[in-house]
Structures are given as C-alpha cells and as structure tokens.
Copies of this chain bind each other. A is one copy, B any other.
C-alpha cells in the first residue's frame, strides 16, 4: 500500500493496518453462539457493545467515550505479547514485561499526540484505579463468564479451572459493576450445582 502524502495520515493508517493483526490473536474462550475460539478484535467489539448497553451498572458515573476508547485499545499489546489465559500462572509471571514492551512498540506508531493519548488510556486500564478503568475491567471479566456459562463451563472445563479460582477472578466484576458481579457469581455457582465445575 502506498503512503499518503500527508505524513500524519500516513502514520495513522500505518497504525490502523498494524492493529488489524489483533484479528489473528486467539483467546481461550469460545464464542457465545459457536464453539470456535474468539479472537481479540471481535472480543473487543463485544466489550464495546457491553459498555454502551450496560453503562448504567457502573457504581459511579463513567465517561462512556473514554471507556469505549480504553476497551478498543486495551488488548493491542497482545499483537506482540499474545493472549495470556488468566488461569495460566507461568504466563502471568512474564505478562507485564511482555505487554509493556509491546506497548512501547505499538502506540508510538501513531503521531505523538495520539500515541500519548492511547498509551495513557492503556496505562489507566492496567492500573485499574479509576471508575472508568474498573468498569472496563468488569466487562472484560464478565464477557468470558457469559460465553463459558453458555457452553456449560467451556474453556474452564477444558483447562480444569476450579470454581474457586473463577470466583476469585469474578471479584473484579463486583468492584467495577456490583450488579453484574452478583450475576456472574450466580452463573458460576449454578455450573457447580449442575456438576459442570468443581
């Protein structure tokens, strides 16, 4: 593809073509309506839909545009670092380092003002201290719960993840969206009652 004559636009399009690679990064969880594994780009689209439909469940008012932009870019580092399953202890031990290195390569493809803006949103998501970031995390945790519950345990069952480990991760949903956290917990407990999880 040839570069446009406007250097700023050239950088922006280079970034947009580069991040297309997110469509090739597979996650562990299945789709809600199909057993195939979900990729990061379609996962992010789903989270953006959840953000706009479920914004009312954030305990403090959130800035929806910022939440959506945060969710849009929160997984870009996985283009280089790959997806780390949240129940993979070995992967988790090197995740932060791998993802930081990726952030340092990917965001600076943008013009400096936008690189700083999106890197800032990624940092905020990672720190998980603001209401916007906590709500974004709640959705990021809720979405695979929905998909795995539909498939009677899905990726959890396949990777022998215990209900206790899942319920520990579900805590992050409670913090960012209590009503959604309570519902996620109910779904996990139901899978235990039905014998799908131990």
A-to-B contact residues, CB < 8 Å: 1-2, 4, 6, 9, 12-13, 15-17, 19-24, 31-34, 38-39, 41-42, 44-46, 48-50, 52-54, 57, 64-65, 68-69, 72-73, 110, 114, 146-147, 149-150, 179-180, 183, 186-187, 190
Task: Decide if the interface of chain A is mainly helix, strand, loop or mixed.
Answer: helix
Cross-chain contact A38 with B23 (CB below 8 angstroms): yes
Cross-chain contact B1 with A187 (CB below 8 angstroms): yes
Counting every copy of the chain, the complex holds 2
Shortest A185–chain B CB gap in Å is 11
Docked Cα-Cα span, A149 to B125, in Å, equals: 34
Cross-chain contact B19 with A49 (CB below 8 angstroms): yes
- 23 A-B contacts, Cβ less than 8 Å apart? A1-B187, A9-B57, A9-B180, A13-B183, A16-B46, A16-B146, A17-B32, A17-B33, A17-B146, A19-B46, A19-B49, A20-B31, A23-B34, A23-B46, A24-B33, A24-B34, A42-B42, A42-B45, A45-B45, A48-B48, A53-B114, A64-B65, A68-B68
Cross-chain contact A69 with B45 (CB below 8 angstroms): no
What chain B residues lie within 8 Å of A20 (beta carbons)? 31-33, 46, 147
Q: Which 4 residue pairs of A and B lie closest in terms of their CB atoms, listed nearest first?
A: A20-B32, A45-B45, A41-B42, A65-B65
Cross-chain contact B13 with A146 (CB below 8 angstroms): yes
Q: A23-B34, A32-B20, A34-B24 are in contact. Are A179 and B42 (CB under 8 A)?
A: no
Cross-chain contact B41 with A45 (CB below 8 angstroms): yes
What chain B residues lie within 8 Å of A65 (beta carbons)? 64-65, 68
What chain B residues lie within 8 Å of A69 (beta carbons)? 52
What chain B residues lie within 8 Å of A53 (beta carbons)? 12, 15-16, 110, 114
What chain B residues lie within 8 Å of A41 (beta carbons)? 41-42, 45-46
Cross-chain contact B48 with A186 (CB below 8 angstroms): no
